[in-house]
Amino acid sequence: MTAQTPRAANDISSPNDMEAWWLPFTANRSFKRRPRMIARAKDMYYYTPDGREVIDGAAGLWCCNAGHNRDEITAAIQAQAQELDYSPAFQFGHGKGFAIASRIAQLAPGDLNHVFFCNSGSEAVDTALKIALAYWNVRGQGSKTRLIGRERGYHGVGFGGISVGGIVKNRQFFGTLLAGVDHLPHTYNREQQAFTKGEPEWGAHLADELERIVALHDASTTAAVIVEPMAGSTGVIPAPKGYLQRLRQICDKYGLLLIFDEVITGFGRLGTAFAAERYGVVPDIVTFAKGVNSGTVPMGGVVVREGLYDTFMQGPEHMIELFHGYTYSGHPLACAAALAAQDIYRDEKLFERAKALEPVWADAIHSLKGQPNVLDIRTVGLVGAIDLASRPDAVGARAFEAMDRAFNEYGLMMRVTGDTIALSPPLIVTEEQIGEIVDKLAKVIRAVA
């Protein structure tokens, strides 16, 4: 560590260098040598400080579903800040919190109609897991504590989320994690599924592994199963046909809660409000974040089924029913932004738009088959992934270079995980812009060959 000369508290002359910010999930040294800086954004585009236009192929980080800097959302946030900057949600409430909870409950399928707010996807996951555990406790079945996740799952970075998650690097440095967690196998098999559009035919049988896990631990010790309907962060693995329905049946058979982590898939990404609707499956708990207010103010939450909520609503009326919550749960700015974003989704029919564009998007992304090093392509909803062959002894290097050059040289923002490129444009994307994304991507893939 280098010693620093103490500065007066009000000294604002500190150099604006890049050392102080330790960027999350980032190769910091590479970034600081060759930064990818963003100055502003509008609709489908980011702009760099030197004014270059970069098309957003990632909706920021799977979150800006309505596109960037939408006037209606900006105005709602500004008006809210002037009227009510903050109000506590412990024992107090405000109108926009109840309004947006109702809107979200209306969008969620079946009797998923009570919403608990937090501030991120990670918090949403930990909230869902805690509600599941508490539910069995309240019902007098406190031995049901085991949580089942899935290999390659991403459920954020809280200790609960990394415990049920299945991405090795996100787990291996952080100790022993939660006890009593088991994992389903992931559902990706390149031999069986390569170059599939939508849900692969092969793989529903992998849900039956839940039978084996329950047989091992017994249903009396098992609380809940959590999966992403489409595994996103690991590199986009759409659910095999019939897989989620099968999970639901097995959970019903053994009395397990089923949690869908819809932090990415919520709010239109797969062409329906929630992926649960696309698959005709009603889970017991759904998590959301990101798209709820198009990424503008940190917000997450969970939606639970009627019976689950009712189970908690007993005992003396002055007693708190669930000992859980966050200072910023249902923050007024986040709620105002969410109401404005939901208005845009409804008025511009953006979920329907995603659905209508799905075949166009799939054809466009799959046209990259045959480009150098392309091993597989997967698409579902307005999501796409391209697996590139790894360079010898340098897993991730090719895609990392692709991501960097896409931004700095070709004007395209995309995500990478290992050697997989992931794409998820804002739902306002036009067919022409899909063409722009794919043209740029083809050039980038050839550039890193």
Ligand X SMILES: Cc1ncc(COP(=O)(O)O)c(C=O)c1O
Site string for ligand X, 267-306 (x = CB under 6 A): ----------------------x-----------------
In a 10 Å sphere around its CB, with 0-12 CB exposed, 13-18 middle and 19+ buried, how is residue 119 labelled?
buried
Task: Rule CB under 6 A: say whether 149 interacts with ligand X.
Answer: no
Query: 201, 216, 223: which is closest to 149 by C-alpha?
Result: 223
Report d(CA 329, CA 352) in Å as an integer. 30
Nearer to ligand X, 158 or 440 (CB): 158
CB of residue 449 to ligand X, shortest distance in Å: 29
Which residue from 55, 125, 334, 354 is in contact with ligand X, where contact means CB under 6 A? 125
Question: Would you count residue 232 as binding ligand X (CB under 6 A)?
Answer: yes
Beta carbon of residue 341, minimum distance to ligand X (angstroms, whole number): 16
The reply to whether 261 sits near ligand X by the rule CB under 6 A is yes
Q: Should residue 331 be labelled a site residue for ligand X when binding is judged by CB under 6 A?
A: no
- Which among 91, 130, 425 has a CA at the least distance from the CA of 302? 130
Counting contacts by CB under 6 A, is residue 127 touching ligand X? no
Contacts of 382 (CB under 8 A, 6+ apart): 269, 270, 271, 354, 357, 358, 361, 424, 425, 427, 429
433 touches ligand X (CB under 6 A): no
- SS3 call for 182: strand
3-state helix/strand/coil string of 87-102: CCCCCCCCHHHHHHHH
Stretch that binds ligand X, among 171-179, 213-221, 227-235, 340-348 (CB under 6 A): 227-235
The binder of ligand X chosen from 155, 305, 353, 378 (CB under 6 A): 155
Query: Of the two residues 66 and 289, which places its CB atom closer to ligand X in the complex?
Result: 289
CA distances (Å), origin 373, targets 74, 172, 258, 447: 42, 29, 38, 11
Smallest distance from the beta carbon of 120 to ligand X, in angstroms? Answer: 4
Q: How far apart are alpha carbons 363 and 368 in whole angstroms? A: 9
- Confirm or reject binding of residue 233 to ligand X (CB under 6 A): yes
Tokens of 85: 């900057």
Residue 184 found at the interface with ligand X (CB under 6 A): no
Stretch that binds ligand X, among 149-157, 185-193, 211-219, 244-252 (CB under 6 A): 149-157
Question: Between 287 and 433, whose beta carbon lies closer to ligand X?
Answer: 287
Please, what is the minimum distance in Å from the beta carbon of residue 371 to ligand X? 27
Tokens of 150: 């899935």
Q: What are phi and psi of 217, to 5 degrees?
A: -100, -20
Give the chain's end-to-end CA distance (angstroms, integer): 40
CA distance 184 to 148: 7
Question: Could you tell me the smallest distance in angstroms from the CB atom of residue 62 to ligand X?
Answer: 6
Binding flag, residue 264, ligand X (CB under 6 A): yes
Position 199 contacts ligand X (CB under 6 A): no
Rule CB under 6 A: which residues touch ligand X?
120-122, 125, 154-156, 228, 232-233, 261, 263-264, 289
